[in-house]
Chain A
Amino acid sequence: MNANIPNAALQPAPDQGSLPIVHRKPPRPAVVVALRQSPASLPKVSLKNVCLSYQMNGNAPLQALKNIDLEVRAGEFLCVVGPSGCGKSTLLHLIAGLQRQTSGQITVDNREVKGTGTDRILIFQELGLFPWLTVAQNVGFGMRMKGVSKGEREARIREYLRLVHLAQFKDSYIHQLSGGMRQRVALARALATEPDVLLMDEPFAALDAQTRDLLHDELERIWAETGRTIIFVTHNVREAVRLGDRVVLLTFRPGQIKREYPVELPRPRHLEDVHVAGAAREILDDLRAEINKSLEVEYGDEALA
């Protein structure tokens, strides 16, 4: 399967089943917070021919990401799906500046990414909340590092804790919170730093279905209220269709963009909605081929026997 067909999704291929993904014009989210808008012609985040390979001891280098070309509009909600081991998390680490690509260029607002920066905040899969700090101190951490004054910090902590409905837990410690609440603390901590781009790495993977549904609604609401650009990595295709303006499918090792799928279903969407399921189905069929490839590598030939 060749990866150089990113535009195939723009005209639904005739053999792609009966459900077209395009339904209605997408409603634009109301932008409440003024953002550093990039000019209309420039994408917010842009990846050009990004490759990453690891030098394994003695062996040939392992190619994790290959020729990634991706442009993300300001205010867009982009979802990245792919089998485990395709390098989706690594992609976020590169954009966050926690890791450096082997070749290619990553820019945010047309400035090259050379290291970490608070214009891009990553929410880790393991969250990485600080257990020695209270909820409020966790949320205020990024601001404290930036040198925001105490008064403003406290006001913003209050604001963002209210946004994620955790105001009454500001003095709790992390271990006292449930999984869903921790997730919301991580979200508030990331938002409080007021990044333009929010990078989310399978943030809801470990949660139960009810909590996840709830957090989908909240994330969509917060996205609409704050107008942030979100790049959301998940292995759950339906979640990607539920949330994204666009879904990008990565191939298994090396991670390449296999296809892009614009999702133009009206919001708010529901995970169990038949149109969401239909759109997910199409992506899932493409994903399945990649998952089989990953199984072959991980379990050897017996997996498909």
Chain B
Amino acid sequence: MKRWLRNMLFYAVLIGAWGLLAKLKVWPPYLFPTPWGVGEAMWAGFADHSFWIAIGVSMRRMLLGYGLSVALGIALGMSVASSKFLDQTLGGLLVSLQSLPSICWLPIAVLWFGLSEKAILFVVVMGSLLSVTISMETGRKQLPKIYSMAGRNLGARGLKLFLNVTLPASLPYIVTGLKQGWAFAWRSLISGEMIFVTLGLGQLLMMGRDLNDMSQVVAVMILIVALGYIVDGLVFKTIERHLQQRWGLVPA
């Protein structure tokens, strides 16, 4: 409660200072928007459904791209972890590829897929695949052998063993990687949408720039931050709390 109050106060002061600065008219409003202008832009955006549509489009791309990279990342991470050869070859390549910003995949994506939905998905997948893969791989390596032995002993084999034992047992080890993967995917998506002109929040941002509408630019930025924060709080915090309760892990 106290923390909540402190945060309220902090944001009130922040917005107040912003309002004051805007009111002093040091910079023209098309360079430095007012808080109420941003509020209006936000309201208008939701009222004419353009924000809703952009959120819907971006979220669908996220779910598709992120889902794809989690599935691929788990499969890839598992195979790298279970083969010494792959670990020493592909494992090294994956780590070095991680230093490549995901937007660098965009030129390839455009050449391969054109200015299409596929290209943007490709960028999202490449943005998050590596961190999911690497965390799955290290998680699999850290996983105590006893769980899979106990699982086999109780009659689990193959895919059943993987789905019922290996995957849930490694979840605490990979949840950080999944979270990081989501954040990377989100960034890749917005950057991709800013360059393509195919709906989505990134495009709204660029539209604000094209129209010299600083209020809309800031409103969309706030929206992007808020969405990222909400997903983190709703999805990942819940998974982490869930894990802490079940495994008896002390919150980090």
Chain B residues within an 8 Å CB radius of A144: 164
User: Which partner residue on chain A sits nearest B165 by CB separation?
Assistant: A130
B82 sits at the interface (CB 8 A)? no
A230 at the interface (CB under 8 A from B): no
- Scoring B residues 161 to 182 as 1 if CB is less than 8 Å from chain A, else 0, what string do you get? 0001100110100000000000
Interface size class of B (residues with CB under 8 A): 20 to 34
Contacts of B152 in A (CB 8 A): 98, 116
CA distance A62 to B37 in the complex (A): 79
Tell me, in angstroms, the Cα distance from A54 to B5 when the chains sit together: 64
Query: Is A118 at the interface (CB under 8 A from chain B)?
Result: yes
For A192, give the chain B residue with the smallest CB separation.
Answer: B154
Q: How large is the interface on A (under 10, 10 to 19, 20 to 34, 35 or more residues)?
A: 20 to 34
Cβ of A121 within 8 Å of any chain B Cβ, yes or no, is yes
What are the residues of chain B within 8 A of A117 when measuring CB–CB? 155
Contact call A141/B171, Cβ cutoff below 8 A: no
CA distance A127 to B146 in the complex (A): 8
Q: Separation in Å of the A47 CB from the closest CB of chain B?
A: 19
Q: Is A116 touching B155 in the complex (CB atoms < 8 A)?
A: yes
Taking a contact as CB atoms under 8 Å apart, the answer to whether B155 and A131 are in contact is: no
| Contact indicator A142/B154 (Cβ below 8 Å) | yes
* Inter-chain contact A132/B246, CB cutoff 8 Å: yes
| Chain A hits for B238, CB < 8 A | none
Q: Determine the residue in chain B with the shortest Cβ distance to A125.
A: B146
Does the CB pair B155–A145 fall under 8 Å?
A: yes
A122 nearest CB neighbor, chain B only: B153
Known: A130-B169, A145-B164. A116 touches B153 (CB 8 A): yes
CA distance A173 to B171 in the complex (A): 16
**A145 to B154 Cα, complex, angstroms:** 7
Q: Does A226 contact B (CB under 8 A)?
A: no
Interface contact B155-A126, CB-CB below 8 Å: no
- CA separation between A116 and B164, bound complex, in Å? 17
Whether a CB of chain A sits under 8 angstroms from the CB of B147 is yes
Looking at the assembled complex, report how far the CB atom of A66 sits from the nearest CB atom of chain B, in whole angstroms.
24
Determine how close the nearest CB of chain A comes to the CB of B247; give it in whole angstroms. 5
Distance in angstroms from B178 CB to nearest chain A CB is 16
Give B118-153 as 1s and 0s: 1 = Cβ < 8 Å from A's Cβ atoms.
000000000000000000000000000011011111
Q: A121 contacts which of B151, B154, B156, B247 (Cβ < 8 Å)? A: B154
Q: Check A145/B247 contact, CB under 8 A, given A128-B146, A128-B147, A132-B171.
A: no
Which residues of chain B come closer than 8 Å to A145, judged between CB atoms? Answer: 151, 154-156, 160, 164
CB pair A128 B155 closer than 8 Å: no
> In the complex, which residues of chain A have a beta carbon less than 8 angstroms from the beta carbon of B157?
116
Is A175's CB within 8 Å of the partner chain B? yes
Whether B247 contacts A131 by the Cβ 8 Å rule is yes
A118/B154 in contact, CB under 8 A: yes
The docked-state distance in angstroms from the alpha carbon of A145 to that of B153 is 11
Q: Is A88 an interface residue (CB 8 A)?
A: no
Those 4 A-B pairs whose CB atoms lie nearest each other, nearest first: A175-B248, A128-B150, A142-B154, A145-B155
